[in-house]
Protein backbone atom coordinates (compact mmCIF):
# COMPACT_ATOMS: atom_id res chain seq x y z
CA UNK A 1 0.00 0.00 0.00
CA UNK A 2 2.89 2.41 0.67
CA UNK A 3 2.98 4.26 -2.64
CA UNK A 4 2.75 1.22 -4.92
CA UNK A 5 0.11 1.33 -7.64
CA UNK A 6 -1.74 -1.97 -7.45
CA UNK A 7 -4.86 -0.61 -9.11
CA UNK A 8 -6.56 -2.37 -12.00
CA UNK A 9 -6.99 -0.64 -15.39
CA UNK A 10 -9.87 1.81 -15.54
CA UNK A 11 -12.97 0.44 -17.28
CA UNK A 12 -13.39 3.37 -19.65
CA UNK A 13 -15.90 1.72 -22.00
CA UNK A 14 -18.70 0.73 -19.60
CA UNK A 15 -18.10 3.75 -17.37
CA UNK A 16 -18.42 6.32 -20.15
CA UNK A 17 -21.41 4.46 -21.58
CA UNK A 18 -23.21 4.50 -18.22
CA UNK A 19 -22.32 8.15 -17.56
CA UNK A 20 -23.43 9.17 -21.04
CA UNK A 21 -26.70 7.27 -20.75
CA UNK A 22 -27.43 8.85 -17.39
CA UNK A 23 -26.71 12.31 -18.82
CA UNK A 24 -29.00 11.70 -21.81
CA UNK A 25 -31.86 10.49 -19.60
CA UNK A 26 -31.60 13.61 -17.48
CA UNK A 27 -31.50 15.88 -20.53
CA UNK A 28 -34.48 14.06 -22.08
CA UNK A 29 -36.67 15.13 -19.15
CA UNK A 30 -34.99 18.46 -18.39
CA UNK A 31 -37.72 20.51 -20.05
CA UNK A 32 -40.74 18.71 -18.58
CA UNK A 33 -43.19 20.45 -16.22
CA UNK A 34 -41.19 23.64 -15.61
CA UNK A 35 -38.88 25.44 -13.21
CA UNK A 36 -38.64 24.27 -9.61
CA UNK A 37 -39.25 26.94 -6.96
CA UNK A 38 -35.57 26.72 -5.94
CA UNK A 39 -34.42 27.26 -9.53
CA UNK A 40 -36.59 30.37 -9.75
CA UNK A 41 -34.93 31.59 -6.57
CA UNK A 42 -31.42 30.87 -7.87
CA UNK A 43 -32.24 32.89 -11.00
CA UNK A 44 -33.32 35.75 -8.76
CA UNK A 45 -30.10 35.41 -6.75
CA UNK A 46 -28.17 35.56 -10.03
CA UNK A 47 -29.46 39.12 -10.44
CA UNK A 48 -27.98 40.03 -7.05
CA UNK A 49 -24.65 38.18 -7.13
CA UNK A 50 -22.76 38.38 -3.87
CA UNK A 51 -20.35 36.28 -1.83
CA UNK A 52 -23.24 34.92 0.15
CA UNK A 53 -26.97 34.68 0.64
CA UNK A 54 -29.22 33.94 3.57
CA UNK A 55 -29.61 30.30 2.58
CA UNK A 56 -26.55 29.35 0.53
CA UNK A 57 -23.06 30.42 -0.53
CA UNK A 58 -22.54 31.91 -4.02
CA UNK A 59 -21.60 29.03 -6.36
CA UNK A 60 -25.05 27.78 -7.40
CA UNK A 61 -26.41 31.30 -8.12
CA UNK A 62 -23.23 31.89 -10.15
CA UNK A 63 -24.06 28.82 -12.24
CA UNK A 64 -27.55 30.22 -12.81
CA UNK A 65 -25.96 33.54 -13.86
CA UNK A 66 -23.74 31.77 -16.41
CA UNK A 67 -26.77 29.93 -17.84
CA UNK A 68 -28.69 33.16 -18.24
CA UNK A 69 -25.69 34.83 -19.86
CA UNK A 70 -25.43 32.02 -22.42
CA UNK A 71 -29.11 31.35 -23.15
CA UNK A 72 -31.59 33.52 -21.24
CA UNK A 73 -34.75 31.68 -20.26
CA UNK A 74 -33.47 28.22 -21.25
CA UNK A 75 -34.63 25.67 -18.70
CA UNK A 76 -32.79 22.88 -20.53
CA UNK A 77 -29.44 24.70 -20.33
CA UNK A 78 -30.03 25.50 -16.67
CA UNK A 79 -30.51 21.78 -16.06
CA UNK A 80 -27.60 20.72 -18.25
CA UNK A 81 -25.21 21.67 -15.43
CA UNK A 82 -26.68 19.26 -12.85
CA UNK A 83 -26.82 16.56 -15.52
CA UNK A 84 -23.09 17.07 -16.14
CA UNK A 85 -22.35 17.05 -12.40
CA UNK A 86 -24.28 13.79 -12.04
CA UNK A 87 -22.37 12.14 -14.89
CA UNK A 88 -19.12 13.30 -13.27
CA UNK A 89 -20.31 11.81 -9.97
CA UNK A 90 -20.68 8.44 -11.65
CA UNK A 91 -17.11 8.60 -13.01
CA UNK A 92 -15.76 9.65 -9.60
CA UNK A 93 -17.59 6.76 -7.94
CA UNK A 94 -15.88 4.30 -10.26
CA UNK A 95 -12.53 5.95 -9.54
CA UNK A 96 -13.26 5.30 -5.86
CA UNK A 97 -14.01 1.66 -6.69
CA UNK A 98 -10.69 1.42 -8.52
CA UNK A 99 -8.83 2.91 -5.55
CA UNK A 100 -10.54 0.31 -3.36
CA UNK A 101 -9.28 -2.56 -5.51
CA UNK A 102 -12.11 -3.20 -7.98
CA UNK A 103 -11.29 -4.66 -11.37
CA UNK A 104 -13.10 -4.07 -14.63
CA UNK A 105 -16.14 -6.11 -13.60
CA UNK A 106 -16.48 -4.41 -10.24
CA UNK A 107 -16.03 -0.97 -11.79
CA UNK A 108 -18.73 -1.73 -14.34
CA UNK A 109 -21.03 -2.92 -11.55
CA UNK A 110 -20.46 0.30 -9.60
CA UNK A 111 -21.17 2.34 -12.73
CA UNK A 112 -24.44 0.52 -13.40
CA UNK A 113 -25.49 0.79 -9.74
CA UNK A 114 -24.98 4.55 -9.83
CA UNK A 115 -26.70 4.83 -13.21
CA UNK A 116 -29.92 3.34 -11.79
CA UNK A 117 -29.87 5.09 -8.39
CA UNK A 118 -33.19 6.96 -8.02
CA UNK A 119 -31.75 9.52 -5.60
CA UNK A 120 -29.10 10.65 -8.09
CA UNK A 121 -31.70 11.21 -10.78
CA UNK A 122 -33.73 13.29 -8.37
CA UNK A 123 -30.68 15.40 -7.52
CA UNK A 124 -29.46 15.59 -11.13
CA UNK A 125 -32.77 16.65 -12.62
CA UNK A 126 -32.68 20.26 -11.47
CA UNK A 127 -30.17 22.90 -10.48
CA UNK A 128 -29.67 22.86 -6.73
CA UNK A 129 -26.88 23.20 -4.23
CA UNK A 130 -27.21 19.48 -3.48
CA UNK A 131 -26.23 18.26 -6.96
CA UNK A 132 -22.76 19.81 -7.00
CA UNK A 133 -22.46 19.03 -3.29
CA UNK A 134 -22.78 15.31 -4.07
CA UNK A 135 -20.15 15.55 -6.80
CA UNK A 136 -17.74 17.35 -4.48
CA UNK A 137 -18.35 14.87 -1.64
CA UNK A 138 -17.44 11.98 -3.93
CA UNK A 139 -14.47 13.86 -5.38
CA UNK A 140 -13.20 14.62 -1.88
CA UNK A 141 -13.65 11.00 -0.82
CA UNK A 142 -11.76 9.82 -3.90
CA UNK A 143 -8.78 12.02 -3.00
CA UNK A 144 -8.87 10.80 0.60
CA UNK A 145 -8.94 7.18 -0.55
CA UNK A 146 -5.92 7.84 -2.77
CA UNK A 147 -4.18 9.49 0.19
CA UNK A 148 -4.89 6.42 2.34
CA UNK A 149 -3.57 4.12 -0.38
CA UNK A 150 -0.45 6.03 -1.38
CA UNK A 151 0.34 7.85 1.91
CA UNK A 152 1.28 10.82 -0.31
CA UNK A 153 0.60 13.73 2.05
CA UNK A 154 0.88 16.23 -0.80
CA UNK A 155 -2.66 15.21 -1.67
CA UNK A 156 -3.82 17.29 1.28
CA UNK A 157 -3.54 20.44 -0.88
CA UNK A 158 -6.09 19.39 -3.55
CA UNK A 159 -8.24 17.98 -0.73
CA UNK A 160 -8.24 21.43 0.87
CA UNK A 161 -9.14 23.04 -2.47
CA UNK A 162 -12.13 20.72 -2.94
CA UNK A 163 -13.30 21.46 0.60
CA UNK A 164 -12.98 25.20 0.00
CA UNK A 165 -14.98 25.06 -3.24
CA UNK A 166 -17.50 22.82 -1.50
CA UNK A 167 -17.98 25.34 1.30
CA UNK A 168 -18.60 28.03 -1.32
CA UNK A 169 -21.40 25.84 -2.65
CA UNK A 170 -23.00 24.33 0.45
CA UNK A 171 -21.80 24.22 4.02
CA UNK A 172 -22.90 20.61 4.47
CA UNK A 173 -19.60 19.37 3.05
CA UNK A 174 -18.37 20.23 6.54
CA UNK A 175 -20.28 17.15 7.75
CA UNK A 176 -18.11 14.97 5.52
CA UNK A 177 -14.93 16.70 6.68
CA UNK A 178 -15.94 16.15 10.32
CA UNK A 179 -16.74 12.49 9.68
CA UNK A 180 -13.46 11.85 7.88
CA UNK A 181 -11.47 13.57 10.62
CA UNK A 182 -13.17 11.29 13.16
CA UNK A 183 -12.29 8.35 10.91
CA UNK A 184 -8.64 9.38 10.82
CA UNK A 185 -8.46 9.97 14.57
CA UNK A 186 -10.21 6.75 15.59
CA UNK A 187 -8.41 4.59 13.05
CA UNK A 188 -4.74 3.99 12.49
CA UNK A 189 -4.25 6.91 10.12
CA UNK A 190 -4.06 9.81 12.58
CA UNK A 191 -0.37 10.25 11.67
CA UNK A 192 -1.46 11.51 8.26
CA UNK A 193 -2.87 14.57 10.03
CA UNK A 194 0.40 15.44 11.72
CA UNK A 195 2.23 17.27 8.94
CA UNK A 196 2.44 20.69 7.35
CA UNK A 197 0.59 19.52 4.22
CA UNK A 198 -2.54 18.94 6.30
CA UNK A 199 -2.13 22.41 7.79
CA UNK A 200 -1.76 23.76 4.27
CA UNK A 201 -5.03 22.08 3.28
CA UNK A 202 -6.79 23.80 6.16
CA UNK A 203 -5.36 27.16 5.05
CA UNK A 204 -6.41 26.63 1.41
CA UNK A 205 -9.95 25.66 2.42
CA UNK A 206 -10.27 28.59 4.80
CA UNK A 207 -8.96 31.16 2.28
CA UNK A 208 -11.43 29.95 -0.35
CA UNK A 209 -14.30 30.04 2.15
CA UNK A 210 -13.31 33.39 3.69
CA UNK A 211 -15.27 35.72 1.33
CA UNK A 212 -18.48 33.88 2.16
CA UNK A 213 -17.72 34.03 5.89
CA UNK A 214 -17.10 37.77 5.65
CA UNK A 215 -20.44 38.26 3.89
CA UNK A 216 -22.23 36.24 6.54
CA UNK A 217 -20.55 38.17 9.33
CA UNK A 218 -21.45 41.50 7.75
CA UNK A 219 -25.12 40.44 7.56
CA UNK A 220 -25.45 39.04 11.07
CA UNK A 221 -24.85 35.35 10.21
CA UNK A 222 -28.28 34.74 8.67
CA UNK A 223 -27.38 31.22 7.52
CA UNK A 224 -26.89 30.14 11.12
CA UNK A 225 -30.28 31.65 11.94
CA UNK A 226 -31.71 29.73 8.99
CA UNK A 227 -30.22 26.45 10.26
CA UNK A 228 -31.78 27.06 13.67
CA UNK A 229 -35.15 27.74 12.06
CA UNK A 230 -34.97 24.57 9.97
CA UNK A 231 -33.97 22.52 13.01
CA UNK A 232 -36.91 23.88 15.01
CA UNK A 233 -39.25 22.82 12.20
CA UNK A 234 -37.93 19.26 12.08
CA UNK A 235 -40.52 16.61 12.84
CA UNK A 236 -38.50 14.69 15.39
CA UNK A 237 -38.68 11.01 16.26
CA UNK A 238 -41.06 9.97 13.51
CA UNK A 239 -38.76 11.33 10.82
CA UNK A 240 -35.80 9.58 12.42
CA UNK A 241 -37.57 6.23 12.16
CA UNK A 242 -38.23 6.87 8.48
CA UNK A 243 -34.60 7.79 7.88
CA UNK A 244 -33.38 4.19 7.40
CA UNK A 245 -35.86 3.02 4.72
CA UNK A 246 -35.40 6.30 2.87
CA UNK A 247 -31.69 5.54 2.55
CA UNK A 248 -32.53 2.40 0.58
CA UNK A 249 -34.82 4.36 -1.74
CA UNK A 250 -32.07 6.89 -2.43
CA UNK A 251 -29.62 4.23 -3.63
CA UNK A 252 -32.21 1.86 -5.11
CA UNK A 253 -32.45 -1.94 -5.15
CA UNK A 254 -29.19 -2.42 -7.04
CA UNK A 255 -27.06 0.11 -5.20
CA UNK A 256 -28.20 -0.82 -1.70
CA UNK A 257 -26.60 -4.30 -1.56
CA UNK A 258 -23.38 -2.82 -2.94
CA UNK A 259 -23.02 -0.07 -0.34
CA UNK A 260 -23.97 -2.37 2.53
CA UNK A 261 -21.34 -4.88 1.38
CA UNK A 262 -18.89 -2.00 0.99
CA UNK A 263 -19.58 -0.66 4.47
CA UNK A 264 -19.04 -4.08 6.03
CA UNK A 265 -15.85 -4.48 4.03
CA UNK A 266 -14.23 -1.25 5.19
CA UNK A 267 -15.28 -1.73 8.81
CA UNK A 268 -14.03 -5.30 9.18
CA UNK A 269 -10.42 -6.13 10.04
CA UNK A 270 -8.38 -7.43 7.15
CA UNK A 271 -8.22 -6.15 3.62
CA UNK A 272 -10.59 -3.24 4.31
CA UNK A 273 -8.45 -1.92 7.16
CA UNK A 274 -6.58 0.71 5.07
CA UNK A 275 -9.90 2.38 4.27
CA UNK A 276 -11.54 2.06 7.66
CA UNK A 277 -11.70 5.85 7.94
CA UNK A 278 -14.42 5.77 5.26
CA UNK A 279 -16.59 3.35 7.24
CA UNK A 280 -16.04 5.24 10.50
CA UNK A 281 -16.95 8.51 8.75
CA UNK A 282 -20.27 7.02 7.63
CA UNK A 283 -21.13 5.75 11.09
CA UNK A 284 -20.04 9.03 12.69
CA UNK A 285 -22.37 10.94 10.38
CA UNK A 286 -25.31 8.60 9.87
CA UNK A 287 -26.16 8.03 13.52
CA UNK A 288 -26.32 11.68 14.69
CA UNK A 289 -27.90 12.93 11.46
CA UNK A 290 -30.62 10.27 11.61
CA UNK A 291 -31.55 11.63 15.03
CA UNK A 292 -30.90 15.36 14.59
CA UNK A 293 -31.85 15.75 10.91
CA UNK A 294 -34.19 12.85 10.26
CA UNK A 295 -36.28 15.04 7.97
CA UNK A 296 -33.21 15.49 5.71
CA UNK A 297 -32.55 11.88 4.65
CA UNK A 298 -30.25 12.95 1.82
CA UNK A 299 -27.57 14.49 4.04
CA UNK A 300 -25.29 11.43 3.81
CA UNK A 301 -26.47 10.28 0.37
CA UNK A 302 -23.15 11.09 -1.26
CA UNK A 303 -21.25 8.72 1.05
CA UNK A 304 -23.16 5.76 -0.36
CA UNK A 305 -21.42 6.21 -3.69
CA UNK A 306 -17.85 5.54 -2.45
CA UNK A 307 -19.30 2.72 -0.35
CA UNK A 308 -20.77 1.28 -3.55
CA UNK A 309 -17.21 1.40 -4.87
CA UNK A 310 -16.05 -0.49 -1.81
CA UNK A 311 -18.75 -3.08 -2.44
CA UNK A 312 -17.57 -3.64 -6.01
CA UNK A 313 -14.89 -6.10 -4.85
CA UNK A 314 -17.35 -8.30 -2.88
CA UNK A 315 -19.55 -8.19 -5.99
CA UNK A 316 -16.70 -9.54 -8.10
CA UNK A 317 -16.27 -12.40 -5.62
CA UNK A 318 -20.00 -13.11 -5.60
CA UNK A 319 -19.92 -13.22 -9.39
CA UNK A 320 -16.99 -15.66 -9.36
CA UNK A 321 -18.69 -17.95 -6.82
CA UNK A 322 -21.87 -18.22 -8.88
CA UNK A 323 -21.03 -20.44 -11.80
CA UNK A 324 -24.70 -20.40 -12.79
CA UNK A 325 -24.71 -17.65 -15.38
CA UNK A 326 -28.46 -17.26 -15.20
CA UNK A 327 -28.31 -16.40 -11.50
CA UNK A 328 -25.38 -14.03 -11.62
CA UNK A 329 -26.89 -12.12 -14.54
CA UNK A 330 -30.56 -12.37 -13.61
CA UNK A 331 -30.17 -11.01 -10.08
CA UNK A 332 -28.43 -7.73 -11.02
CA UNK A 333 -30.70 -7.25 -14.04
CA UNK A 334 -33.84 -7.76 -11.94
CA UNK A 335 -32.62 -5.37 -9.25
CA UNK A 336 -31.60 -2.80 -11.88
CA UNK A 337 -35.00 -3.05 -13.60
CA UNK A 338 -36.72 -2.53 -10.24
CA UNK A 339 -34.57 0.55 -9.65
CA UNK A 340 -35.50 1.97 -13.05
CA UNK A 341 -39.17 1.39 -12.22
CA UNK A 342 -38.75 3.95 -9.42
CA UNK A 343 -37.67 6.71 -11.81
CA UNK A 344 -41.18 8.16 -12.39
CA UNK A 345 -41.09 9.06 -8.70
CA UNK A 346 -38.02 11.29 -9.15
CA UNK A 347 -38.24 12.47 -12.77
CA UNK A 348 -41.18 14.20 -14.52
CA UNK A 349 -41.87 11.19 -16.71
CA UNK A 350 -45.66 11.09 -16.33
CA UNK A 351 -47.67 13.96 -17.84
CA UNK A 352 -48.41 16.51 -15.12
CA UNK A 353 -52.17 15.99 -15.42
CA UNK A 354 -51.73 12.33 -14.42
CA UNK A 355 -50.50 13.35 -10.97
CA UNK A 356 -54.14 13.77 -9.98
CA UNK A 357 -54.64 10.00 -10.22
CA UNK A 358 -51.03 8.97 -9.54
CA UNK A 359 -49.99 11.46 -6.83
CA UNK A 360 -46.25 10.91 -6.99
CA UNK A 361 -45.74 14.46 -5.74
CA UNK A 362 -46.94 13.25 -2.34
CA UNK A 363 -43.91 10.94 -2.26
CA UNK A 364 -41.55 13.38 -3.94
CA UNK A 365 -42.33 16.98 -3.02
CA UNK A 366 -40.06 18.32 -5.77
CA UNK A 367 -42.28 17.01 -8.59
CA UNK A 368 -45.16 19.22 -7.51
CA UNK A 369 -42.93 22.26 -7.18
CA UNK A 370 -42.30 22.31 -10.94
CA UNK A 371 -45.92 22.69 -11.99
CA UNK A 372 -47.91 25.71 -13.28
CA UNK A 373 -45.77 28.66 -12.15
CA UNK A 374 -46.70 30.73 -15.26
CA UNK A 375 -50.38 29.97 -14.56
CA UNK A 376 -50.05 31.18 -10.98
CA UNK A 377 -48.34 34.37 -12.11
CA UNK A 378 -51.14 35.15 -14.57
CA UNK A 379 -53.66 34.79 -11.75
CA UNK A 380 -51.64 37.10 -9.50
CA UNK A 381 -51.43 39.67 -12.31
CA UNK A 382 -55.20 39.44 -12.85
CA UNK A 383 -55.84 40.07 -9.14
CA UNK A 384 -53.43 43.01 -9.16
CA UNK A 385 -55.05 44.51 -12.28
CA UNK A 386 -58.47 44.30 -10.59
CA UNK A 387 -57.38 46.80 -7.92
CA UNK A 388 -58.70 50.29 -8.79
CA UNK A 389 -56.12 52.38 -10.62
CA UNK A 390 -55.91 55.06 -7.93
CA UNK A 391 -55.16 52.42 -5.27
CA UNK A 392 -52.79 50.37 -7.40
CA UNK A 393 -50.08 53.03 -7.30
CA UNK A 394 -49.81 52.49 -3.53
CA UNK A 395 -50.10 48.68 -3.71
CA UNK A 396 -47.36 46.07 -3.55
CA UNK A 397 -47.45 42.31 -4.14
CA UNK A 398 -46.21 40.46 -1.05
CA UNK A 399 -45.44 36.75 -1.37
CA UNK A 400 -45.09 34.14 1.31
CA UNK A 401 -42.05 32.45 -0.21
CA UNK A 402 -39.17 32.98 -2.59
CA UNK A 403 -40.86 30.55 -5.00
CA UNK A 404 -43.77 32.86 -5.72
CA UNK A 405 -41.48 35.92 -5.90
CA UNK A 406 -39.06 34.11 -8.21
CA UNK A 407 -41.95 33.05 -10.46
CA UNK A 408 -43.22 36.64 -10.69
CA UNK A 409 -39.73 37.84 -11.63
CA UNK A 410 -39.39 35.12 -14.26
CA UNK A 411 -42.87 35.18 -15.81
CA UNK A 412 -44.43 38.45 -14.65
CA UNK A 413 -45.06 41.58 -16.68
CA UNK A 414 -44.35 44.72 -14.72
CA UNK A 415 -45.11 43.53 -11.17
CA UNK A 416 -42.31 43.87 -8.62
CA UNK A 417 -42.57 41.19 -5.91
CA UNK A 418 -41.77 41.79 -2.25
CA UNK A 419 -41.22 39.05 0.29
CA UNK A 420 -39.94 38.64 3.81
CA UNK A 421 -38.62 35.20 2.92
CA UNK A 422 -34.87 34.62 3.06
CA UNK A 423 -32.83 36.87 0.79
CA UNK A 424 -35.85 38.67 -0.68
CA UNK A 425 -36.20 40.46 2.64
CA UNK A 426 -32.73 41.95 2.16
CA UNK A 427 -33.18 42.94 -1.47
CA UNK A 428 -36.28 45.09 -1.34
CA UNK A 429 -38.12 47.16 1.31
CA UNK A 430 -41.69 48.35 0.54
CA UNK A 431 -42.13 52.06 -0.15
CA UNK A 432 -43.20 54.26 2.74
CA UNK A 433 -46.40 55.25 0.96
CA UNK A 434 -47.73 51.69 0.61
CA UNK A 435 -51.35 51.48 1.74
CA UNK A 436 -52.48 48.17 0.19
CA UNK A 437 -50.85 44.76 -0.03
CA UNK A 438 -51.82 41.93 -2.36
CA UNK A 439 -50.60 39.01 -0.25
CA UNK A 440 -50.07 35.73 -2.09
CA UNK A 441 -49.13 32.41 -0.58
CA UNK A 442 -49.74 30.51 2.60
CA UNK A 443 -50.32 33.54 4.81
CA UNK A 444 -52.72 32.72 7.67
CA UNK A 445 -55.43 35.35 8.01
CA UNK A 446 -54.63 35.88 11.68
CA UNK A 447 -50.99 36.57 10.77
CA UNK A 448 -51.94 39.31 8.30
CA UNK A 449 -54.37 40.86 10.79
CA UNK A 450 -51.42 41.49 13.10
CA UNK A 451 -50.18 44.03 10.55
CA UNK A 452 -53.31 45.24 8.75
CA UNK A 453 -56.66 46.52 9.92
CA UNK A 454 -58.59 45.10 6.96
CA UNK A 455 -57.93 41.70 5.32
CA UNK A 456 -60.10 40.25 2.55
CA UNK A 457 -59.83 36.95 0.69
CA UNK A 458 -60.22 37.72 -3.03
CA UNK A 459 -59.13 34.45 -4.68
CA UNK A 460 -57.03 31.32 -4.65
CA UNK A 461 -54.26 30.01 -6.89
CA UNK A 462 -55.32 27.16 -9.17
CA UNK A 463 -52.98 25.20 -11.41
CA UNK A 464 -55.91 24.16 -13.63
CA UNK A 465 -54.90 20.50 -13.36
CA UNK A 466 -56.37 19.62 -9.99
CA UNK A 467 -52.92 18.46 -8.88
CA UNK A 468 -52.21 18.93 -5.19
CA UNK A 469 -49.06 21.00 -4.70
CA UNK A 470 -47.90 23.48 -2.09
CA UNK A 471 -49.28 26.42 -4.09
CA UNK A 472 -52.53 24.80 -5.19
CA UNK A 473 -55.39 26.58 -3.44
CA UNK A 474 -53.08 29.12 -1.78
CA UNK A 475 -55.08 32.23 -0.85
CA UNK A 476 -54.80 35.65 -2.45
CA UNK A 477 -55.46 38.32 0.17
CA UNK A 478 -56.09 42.03 -0.12
CA UNK A 479 -54.69 43.64 3.02
CA UNK A 480 -55.31 47.32 3.75
CA UNK A 481 -55.00 49.84 6.56
CA UNK A 482 -51.46 48.97 7.69
CA UNK A 483 -51.07 49.42 11.44
CA UNK A 484 -47.77 51.23 10.84
CA UNK A 485 -45.76 52.23 7.74
CA UNK A 486 -44.56 49.20 5.79
CA UNK A 487 -40.80 50.02 6.14
CA UNK A 488 -41.22 50.11 9.92
CA UNK A 489 -42.99 46.75 10.10
CA UNK A 490 -40.65 45.16 7.55
CA UNK A 491 -38.30 43.65 10.19
CA UNK A 492 -41.30 41.85 11.72
CA UNK A 493 -42.23 40.37 8.34
CA UNK A 494 -38.87 38.68 7.89
CA UNK A 495 -38.85 34.88 8.04
CA UNK A 496 -36.09 32.39 7.27
CA UNK A 497 -36.71 28.80 6.29
Contacts of 66 (CB under 8 A, 6+ apart): none
Longest Cα pair distance anywhere in the chain, in angstroms?
83
Q: Determine the Cα–Cα distance for residues 287 and 291; give it in Å rounded to an integer.
A: 7
Enter the pTM of the model: 0.92
Pairing of strands 436-440, 475-482: antiparallel
Residue 491: its H or E element:
none
Tell me the sheet residues that pair with 399. Answer: 419, 440
Q: Residues 455, 477: contact at Cβ < 8 Å?
A: yes
Q: Residues 410, 76: contact at Cβ < 8 Å?
A: no
**Of the candidates 88, 54, 44, 10, the residue with the CA atom closest to the CA atom of residue 305:** 88
First-to-last CA distance in the chain? Answer: 47
Give how far the C-alpha of residue 350 lies from the chain's centroid of Cα atoms, to the nearest Å. 22
pLDDT number for residue 237: 47
Q: Residues 91, 15: contact at Cβ < 8 Å?
A: yes
How far from 335 is each of 8, 255, 265, 341, CA to CA, in Å? Answer: 26, 9, 21, 10
The SS3 assignment for 434 reads coil
Q: Residues 134, 301: contact at Cβ < 8 Å?
A: yes
Q: Determine the Cα–Cα distance for residues 77 and 89; give it in Å rounded to an integer.
A: 19
Q: Determine the Cα–Cα distance for residues 130 and 275; give it in Å rounded to an integer.
A: 26
**Of the candidates 116, 94, 86, the residue with the CA atom closest to the CA atom of residue 12:** 94
Q: Determine the Cα–Cα distance for residues 487 and 495; give it in Å rounded to an integer.
A: 15
Tell me the sheet residues that pair with 421. Answer: 495
Buried b (16+ CB within 10 A) or exposed e, 287-306: eebbeebbbbbbbbbbbbbb
pLDDT number for residue 294: 53
Q: Residues 240, 294: contact at Cβ < 8 Å?
A: yes
Buried b (16+ CB within 10 A) or exposed e, 47-75: eeeeebbbbbbbbbbbbbbebbeeeeeeb
Contacts of 388 (CB under 8 A, 6+ apart): none
Q: Determine the Cα–Cα distance for residues 414 and 416; give it in Å rounded to an integer.
A: 6
Tens-binned pLDDT, residue by residue, of the chain (497 aa)? 444 456 789 999 999 999 999 999 999 999 999 999 999 999 999 999 999 999 999 999 999 999 999 999 999 999 999 999 999 999 999 999 999 999 999 999 999 999 999 999 999 999 999 999 999 999 999 999 999 999 999 999 999 999 999 999 999 999 999 999 999 998 778 899 989 999 999 999 999 999 999 999 999 999 988 887 776 655 444 455 566 777 778 888 889 999 999 999 999 887 778 888 899 988 888 877 766 655 566 778 888 999 999 999 999 998 888 767 766 778 788 888 888 888 999 999 999 999 999 999 888 889 999 999 999 999 999 999 999 998 999 999 999 999 999 999 999 998 999 999 999 999 999 999 999 999 999 899 999 999 999 999 999 999 999 999 999 999 999 999 999 999 999 999 999 98
Helix residue spans in 324-444 (DSSP H): 325-341, 365-368, 373-385, 389-392, 402-411, 423-427
How far from 284 is each of 21, 210, 234, 258, 460, CA to CA, in Å? Answer: 34, 27, 21, 20, 47
Amino acid sequence: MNGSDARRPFAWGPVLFAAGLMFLILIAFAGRYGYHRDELYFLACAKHLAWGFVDQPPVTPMIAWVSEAIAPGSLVLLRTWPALFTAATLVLTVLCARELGAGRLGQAAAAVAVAVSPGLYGAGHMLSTSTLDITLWVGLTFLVLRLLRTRDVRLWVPIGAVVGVGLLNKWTIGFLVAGLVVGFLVGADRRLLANTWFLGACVVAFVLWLPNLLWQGAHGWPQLELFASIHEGASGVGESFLWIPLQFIITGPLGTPLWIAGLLRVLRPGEGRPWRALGIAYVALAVPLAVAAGDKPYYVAALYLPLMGAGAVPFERWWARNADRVRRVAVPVALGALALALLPGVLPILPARMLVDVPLQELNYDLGEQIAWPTFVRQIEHAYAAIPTEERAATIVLTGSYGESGAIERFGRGIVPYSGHNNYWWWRTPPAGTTTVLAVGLFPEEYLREFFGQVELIGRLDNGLGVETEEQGAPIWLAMEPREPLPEMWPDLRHYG
